[in-house]
Amino acid sequence: MPHIQIDYTASLADAVIKGRLVDKVHQAAVDSGIFPVWGIRTFAQAMGEYRVGNGQVGNGFVNITVRIAPGRNLALRQRIRQELFGAMLAAMGPLFENHRLGCQLEVTEFDADVSVYQNNLAATDDPAEPSVCRPAP
């Protein structure tokens, strides 16, 4: 973990790519040292059908949801929020000068009672790579 889902209005597609939003947010998660590297997954998608505010074409919005395993204390969740939001603003911040733009980030926890996963992404020969595998029950 985490799973980082980035949704943005299609009007921002060029800015997301040029600002390297996905790269910056993903790297911020890596650099935080909070998560096993192999557990970090970052996804992004442009929303083609949307309305923001008064509906004018130039309005844009970026929403990032960071889903993490349960059990981290509030201070750590707030640190995650701050570091990843900082990366978002580093990528998108220049747009605030001449575009109507909203940026939001929320950290949520998976519900351990109803979540299950299995992977072999950390199955390498490198002992420095942490194992994040947990077989499904």
Which sequence spans correspond to the domains of the chain? 3-109
Please state, rounded to an integer, the average pLDDT across all residues of the chain.
89
pLDDT for 3: 97
Residue 87 or 1, more confident: 87
Q: Which helix (H) or strand (E) holds 85?
A: helix 74-92
- Does the pLDDT at position 7 exceed 90? yes
| Average pLDDT, integer, range 28-54 | 94
pLDDT for 134: 42
- Bridge partners (DSSP) of residue 9 are 47
In sign, the C-alpha dihedral spanning 16, 6, 80, 41 is negative
| Average pLDDT, integer, range 29-58 | 93
pLDDT for 125: 54
pLDDT for 77: 97
Q: What CATH superfamily classification does 3-109 receive?
A: Macrophage Migration Inhibitory Factor (3.30.429.10)
51-95 residue pLDDT tens? 999 999 889 999 999 999 999 999 999 999 999 999 999 999 889
Rounded CA gap, 123 and 46, in Å?
Answer: 32
